């Protein structure tokens, strides 16, 4: 911890939390008898839920991404008449179900948590994640060329990047 004048800064895993001596009650911070600033603890239940869903989305997007990359390297479009493509479609559908769970949990936690996050950005990312895979899948099923498969790969990679950014926003780095 460092102290500069009357402003105290405390580095936590979620970013920088600052407490001003005159506003400690308003901000939920307090100082002990030695003048060290104490901030309220974050609940581990929130972090573990977000962490579990985020980790699952990373794994699922990696599986789908490698699968689509192999299809792209073999120059084969996504066709639902093939058994392997139906399995890919169901894997994408399962990934979208996890995204839906993340959106529901994210919106509930956003409105019930006292975290200092940028709620508009967080909500926009949750909605964007919900739309990403259906649009990419629809495009790849409609475009029978290699480009359609590439669009699905871009959608899956974008999903992983947006999940990472969503985690950063939740951590307070908006």
Residues 73 and 116 placed together within one structural domain of the fold: yes
pLDDT in tens, 119-151: 898 899 999 999 999 999 999 989 888 888 999
pLDDT in tens, 3-56: 444 443 333 333 333 443 443 333 444 444 555 444 444 555 556 556 788 889
Give the Cβ contact number of residue 161 at 10 Å. Answer: 11
Residues 141 and 73 placed together within one structural domain of the fold: yes
Q: What is the CA radius of gyration of the chain?
A: 21
Residues 10 and 73 placed together within one structural domain of the fold: no
Residues 102 and 120 placed together within one structural domain of the fold: yes
Residues 24 and 84 placed together within one structural domain of the fold: no
| pLDDT for residue 41 | 45
Residues 79 and 143 placed together within one structural domain of the fold: yes
Kindly give the residue spans of alpha helices, DSSP state H, lying in the chain: 24-27, 44-73, 83-112, 119-142, 146-170
Range of the domain at 16: 2-38
Residues 49 and 100 placed together within one structural domain of the fold: yes
Beta bridge partner(s), residue 15 = 12
Residues 27 and 102 placed together within one structural domain of the fold: no
Residues 30 and 56 placed together within one structural domain of the fold: no
């Amino acid at each position: 911890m460092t102290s500069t004048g009357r402003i105290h800064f405390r580095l936590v895993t979620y970013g920088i939390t600052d407490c001003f001596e005159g506003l400690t009650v308003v901000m939920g911070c307090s100082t002990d008898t030695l003048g060290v600033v104490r901030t309220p603890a974050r609940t581990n239940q929130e972090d573990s839920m977000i962490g579990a869903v985020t980790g699952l989305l990373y794994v699922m997007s990696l599986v789908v991404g490698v699968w689509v990359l192999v299809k792209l390297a073999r120059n084969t479009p996504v066709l639902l008449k093939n058994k392997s493509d139906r399995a890919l479609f169901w894997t994408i559908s399962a990934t979208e179900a996890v995204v839906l769970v993340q959106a529901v949990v994210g919106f509930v936690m956003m409105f019930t948590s006292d975290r200092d996050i940028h709620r508009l950005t967080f909500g926009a990312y949750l909605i964007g994640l919900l739309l990403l895979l259906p649009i990419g899948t629809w495009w790849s099923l409609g475009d029978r060329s290699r480009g359609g498969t590439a669009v699905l790969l871009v959608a899956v990679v974008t999903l992983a990047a947006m999940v990472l950014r969503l985690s950063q926003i939740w951590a307070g780095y908006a």
